[in-house]
Amino acid sequence: MKEIRLANKIITKLVKDHVHYPDRLIADTFSMLARCGVLLVLYWYVFRLNGGVVNGVTFVVTAWSIFFYFSFSTLRLRDVSRSIMHDVQTGSVEVLFNKPISYLLYRFWWQIGFGLYSFLVVTIFGVLILYFLIGVPESMTLTLFLPTYLVTLIGASFLSLILYGIVGLLAFWIEDVNPVFWMVDKAVMILGGSYLAVALFPKFLYQAALYSPFGASLFVTHTVYDSWQSNWYILLAWQFFWIVFLGTVMHFLFVRAQKKVSINGG
């Protein structure tokens, strides 16, 4: 119950702040228009040159897949690694460790609350714009789509926080985690389907996107494909596996980090 109350307070406070001071929303909206909008225009032109279909996939399906990537990115869950690194570098992590709350849960809920308002607003408006401009693929009209999308979205959020949380915890040993962050982040961008839709990947890259934690952290981009109807449970199982496995790794690192702080006089 204590954790639930903490999560509610953090998220409520941050959402209210962003409603009254919409600077982050404006920045995220312009970022979405600048990157996703331009990219979709380029894809539209390429698909038009190829008769409307590339590798058996239509432009509408590809556009929604890429949009889901950029929509998810507005949650800014990746920033949790740098928040942890900042706490370690400034020494504030020692104070937070002594609080009667879980440090990682605090950081995770803070990160969710920080990006939630922008995510909801940008996603809702983006969905409406795409719906009226290009329509929706048939796969999104099926009863299966919405519940599996929501489950995948929750799983992707957990996995992203765990993955970037592990990167952040490395700051207890290497202090500056930016090089590791860049490698992990680029792997997530590539295998998550940021600038090249997953359905257009060559076979070896497609397999990596399916079975690696980097691709699994963005399975929301798979939900619009026709193949989702037959393999959604397999992908969700892989996503759950990586959450459990990497969650165990993160717990091990966190315990070691606590001991390290205690030994050094924290």
pLDDT at 82: 92
Residue 266: which pLDDT band, with cuts at 50, 70 and 90? Answer: very low
The per-residue pLDDT for range 97-138, each reduced to its tens digit, is 777 778 898 899 999 988 888 899 889 989 999 999 999 999
Using CB atoms within 10 A of its CB, is residue 24 exposed (0-12), middle (13-18) or buried (19+)? Answer: middle
Give the pairing of strands 57-58 and 53-54: antiparallel
Q: Tell me the three state secondary structure of residue 38.
A: helix
pTM of the model as a whole: 0.91
Any residues with CB less than 8 A from the CB of 118 and at least 6 apart, and which?
18, 24, 25, 28, 29, 74, 75, 76
pLDDT at 223: 92
Query: ∠ CA(132), CA(225), CA(188), 5° rounding?
Result: 100
User: CA–CA separation, 37 vs 42, rounded Å?
Assistant: 9
The DSSP code for 221 is: G
Amino acid at 245: F
pLDDT at 54: 84
pLDDT at 264 over 70: no
User: CA–CA separation, 95 vs 228, rounded Å?
Assistant: 46
User: CA–CA separation, 188 vs 182, rounded Å?
Assistant: 10
The per-residue pLDDT for range 27-49, each reduced to its tens digit, is 777 877 788 888 888 889 888 88
pLDDT at 199 over 80: no
User: CA–CA separation, 89 vs 42, rounded Å?
Assistant: 42
With beta carbons less than 8 A apart as the criterion, state whether 97 and 258 touch: yes
With beta carbons less than 8 A apart as the criterion, state whether 75 and 119 touch: yes
The per-residue pLDDT for range 55-98, each reduced to its tens digit, is 888 999 999 999 999 999 989 999 999 999 998 888 888 777 77
With beta carbons less than 8 A apart as the criterion, state whether 57 and 197 touch: yes
* Residue 212 burial (CB count, 10 A): 15
* Residue 118 burial (CB count, 10 A): 24
